[in-house]
Chain A
Amino acid sequence: MRLTKKAKRAIMIGLIPALVIYIGFAIIPIVVSFYYSFMEWNGFSEMTFIGLDNYKQLFKDHLFWNSLKNNIYVLIASVGGQISIALAIALLLNRKLKAVKFFRTIGFMPVVLSSVVVSLTWSLIYNVDDGLLNVVLRSIGLENWTMNWLGDENLAMLSVSVTIIWQFIGLYMIIFLAALQNVPKEILEAADIDGASEWTKTWKIIIPTIKNTIFAALVLAISGSLKTFDQIYVMTSGGPNHATEVAAMYMYTKTFESLQFGYGSAISVLIFLFSLAIIIIANKLMGQKAI
Chain B
Amino acid sequence: MLVSVKKVILSSLLSLLVFGLVACSGESETGSDGGSKSEDGKVKLTLWETWTDDTPDTRLLKERVEEFNSSQEEIVIELRGTAHNEYRTKLKTQAAGGELPELFLVWPGAELEPLVEGGVVEPINDVREKYEGELIQATTLDDYAIDGKQYAIPASVSYTSIIYYNKELLAQAGYDKIPDTYKGFKEMIEALKAEGITPILAGNKPKWPLQSVYISTIADRFTGSDYLDKVLNGDEKFTNPKFIESLAVISELKEMGAFNEDINTIDEVEARDDLLKGEGALFLSGSWSTTAILGALPEGMEIGAASFPSVEGGEGNPEVISGISSIGIAINSKLSDDEKAAAKKFLEYFYDEKLYSGLLANGTLVPADVPLPEDASPLFTDVYNITKGGVAPVYDGVLPAELTTIINNGLQGIVTGSITPKELAQQMQDELDNQ
Q: Assess whether B5 is in contact with A239, with CB atoms less than 8 Å apart.
A: no
Whether a CB of chain A sits under 8 angstroms from the CB of B13 is: yes
A148 CB, nearest partner CB in chain B, Å: 6
Once the chains are docked, how many angstroms separate the CA of A3 from the CA of B2?
Answer: 9
Partner of B262 from A16, A27, A129 at Cβ < 8 Å: A129
CB proximity to A under 8 Å, residues B378-421: 401-402, 405, 409-410, 412-413, 415-416, 418-419
By secondary structure, the B interface counts as: helix
Contacts of A32 in B (CB 8 A): 20-21, 24-25
1/0 contact string of A146-157 vs chain B (CB within 8 Å) = 001111110000
Q: A127 with B266: in contact, given A43-B96, A153-B418, A239-B409 (CB under 8 Å)?
A: yes
Q: Assess whether A44 is in contact with B412, with CB atoms less than 8 Å apart.
A: no
Once the chains are docked, how many angstroms separate the CA of A240 from the CA of B16?
Answer: 45
CB proximity to B under 8 Å, residues A23-73: 23-24, 27-29, 31-32, 35, 41-45
Q: Assess whether B265 is in contact with A150, with CB atoms less than 8 Å apart.
A: yes
Contacts of B120 in A (CB 8 A): 44
Q: A239 with B92: in contact, given A23-B20, A24-B16, A29-B24 (CB under 8 Å)?
A: no
A139 CB, nearest partner CB in chain B, Å: 19
Contacts of B205 in A (CB 8 A): 236-237, 239
Whether a CB of chain B sits under 8 angstroms from the CB of A242 is: yes
Q: Assess whether A28 is in contact with B262, with CB atoms less than 8 Å apart.
A: no
| Interface-side segment among B111-119, B317-325, B340-348 | B111-119
A18 CB, nearest partner CB in chain B, Å: 11
Once the chains are docked, how many angstroms separate the CA of A57 from the CA of B192?
Answer: 49
Once the chains are docked, how many angstroms separate the CA of A32 from the CA of B23?
Answer: 10
Partner of A240 from B5, B21, B117, B415 at Cβ < 8 Å: B415
Contacts of A148 in B (CB 8 A): 261-262, 265
Q: Assess whether A16 is in contact with B9, with CB atoms less than 8 Å apart.
A: yes
Contacts of B9 in A (CB 8 A): 12, 15-16, 19
Whether a CB of chain B sits under 8 angstroms from the CB of A181 is: no
1/0 contact string of B243-268 vs chain A (CB within 8 Å) = 00000000000000000111111100
Partner of B21 from A20, A28, A258, A261 at Cβ < 8 Å: A28
1/0 contact string of B1-14 vs chain A (CB within 8 Å) = 11001001100110
Whether a CB of chain B sits under 8 angstroms from the CB of A123 is: yes
Q: Assess whether B118 is in contact with A45, with CB atoms less than 8 Å apart.
A: yes
Whether a CB of chain A sits under 8 angstroms from the CB of B88 is: yes
Q: Which residue of A lies closest to B8 (CB)?
A: A12
Q: Assess whether A256 is in contact with B25, with CB atoms less than 8 Å apart.
A: no
Whether a CB of chain B sits under 8 angstroms from the CB of A5 is: yes
Q: A257 with B401: in contact, given A16-B9, A45-B118, A240-B416 (CB under 8 Å)?
A: yes
Once the chains are docked, how many angstroms separate the CA of A153 from the CA of B414?
Answer: 11
Q: Assess whether A44 is in contact with B95, with CB atoms less than 8 Å apart.
A: yes
Contacts of B410 in A (CB 8 A): 241
- Which has the most chain A C-beta neighbours within 10 Å: B20, B207, B264, B266? B264
Whether a CB of chain B sits under 8 angstroms from the CB of A188 is: no
Partner of B20 from A28, A150, A153 at Cβ < 8 Å: A28
A239 CB, nearest partner CB in chain B, Å: 5
Contacts of B261 in A (CB 8 A): 128-129, 148, 151
Contacts of B21 in A (CB 8 A): 28, 31-32, 35
Contacts of A123 in B (CB 8 A): 265-266
Once the chains are docked, how many angstroms separate the CA of A11 from the CA of B1?
Answer: 12
Q: A241 with B416: in contact, given A236-B265, A253-B405 (CB under 8 Å)?
A: yes
Q: Which residue of B lies closest to A131 (CB)?
A: B262
Q: A8 with B96: in contact, given A16-B9, A44-B114, A44-B117 (CB under 8 Å)?
A: no
Once the chains are docked, how many angstroms separate the CA of A45 from the CA of B266?
Answer: 38
Contacts of B266 in A (CB 8 A): 123, 127
Whether a CB of chain A sits under 8 angstroms from the CB of B89 is: yes
Contacts of B95 in A (CB 8 A): 43-44
Contacts of B419 in A (CB 8 A): 241
Contacts of A240 in B (CB 8 A): 264-265, 412-413, 415-416
Whether a CB of chain A sits under 8 angstroms from the CB of B206 is: yes
Whether a CB of chain B sits under 8 angstroms from the CB of A126 is: yes
Partner of B118 from A9, A44, A152, A261 at Cβ < 8 Å: A44
A55 CB, nearest partner CB in chain B, Å: 17
Q: Assess whether B89 is in contact with A256, with CB atoms less than 8 Å apart.
A: yes
Q: Assess whether A42 is in contact with B89, with CB atoms less than 8 Å apart.
A: no
Whether a CB of chain A sits under 8 angstroms from the CB of B370 is: no
Contacts of B16 in A (CB 8 A): 20, 23-24
Q: Assess whether A258 is in contact with B416, with CB atoms less than 8 Å apart.
A: no
Contacts of B416 in A (CB 8 A): 151-153, 240-241
Partner of B13 from A23, A41, A43, A253 at Cβ < 8 Å: A23
1/0 contact string of B146-179 vs chain A (CB within 8 Å) = 0000000000000000000000000000000000
Contacts of A43 in B (CB 8 A): 92-93, 95-96, 114, 118
Once the chains are docked, how many angstroms separate the CA of A261 from the CA of B119?
Answer: 18
Q: Which residue of B lies closest to A28 (CB)?
A: B20
Contacts of B17 in A (CB 8 A): 23, 27-28, 31
Contacts of A162 in B (CB 8 A): none
1/0 contact string of A255-291 vs chain B (CB within 8 Å) = 0111101000000000000000000000000000000
Q: Which residue of B lies closest to A253 (CB)?
A: B405
Contacts of A149 in B (CB 8 A): 265
Once the chains are docked, how many angstroms separate the CA of A35 from the CA of B119?
Answer: 24
Q: Which residue of A lies closest to B90 (CB)?
A: A256
Q: Which residue of A lies closest to B409 (CB)?
A: A241
Q: Assess whether A42 is in contact with B405, with CB atoms less than 8 Å apart.
A: no
Q: Assess whether B88 is in contact with A256, with CB atoms less than 8 Å apart.
A: yes
Contacts of B24 in A (CB 8 A): 28-29, 32
Once the chains are docked, how many angstroms separate the CA of A151 from the CA of B409?
Answer: 13
Once the chains are docked, how many angstroms separate the CA of A247 from the CA of B7?
Answer: 38
Once the chains are docked, how many angstroms separate the CA of A8 from the CA of B2?
Answer: 8
Contacts of B402 in A (CB 8 A): 258
The list of the 6 closest CB pairs from A to B, nearest first, reads A44-B118, A241-B413, A28-B20, A43-B96, A240-B412, A150-B265
Q: Can you sample 19 A-B contacts with CB below 8 Å?
A: A11-B5, A12-B8, A15-B9, A16-B9, A20-B13, A23-B13, A27-B17, A28-B17, A28-B24, A32-B24, A35-B21, A128-B265, A129-B260, A150-B264, A152-B416, A241-B412, A253-B405, A259-B92, A259-B114
Given contacts A44-B114, A45-B119, 6 further A-B contacts (CB under 8 A): A5-B1, A9-B5, A23-B13, A31-B17, A123-B265, A237-B206
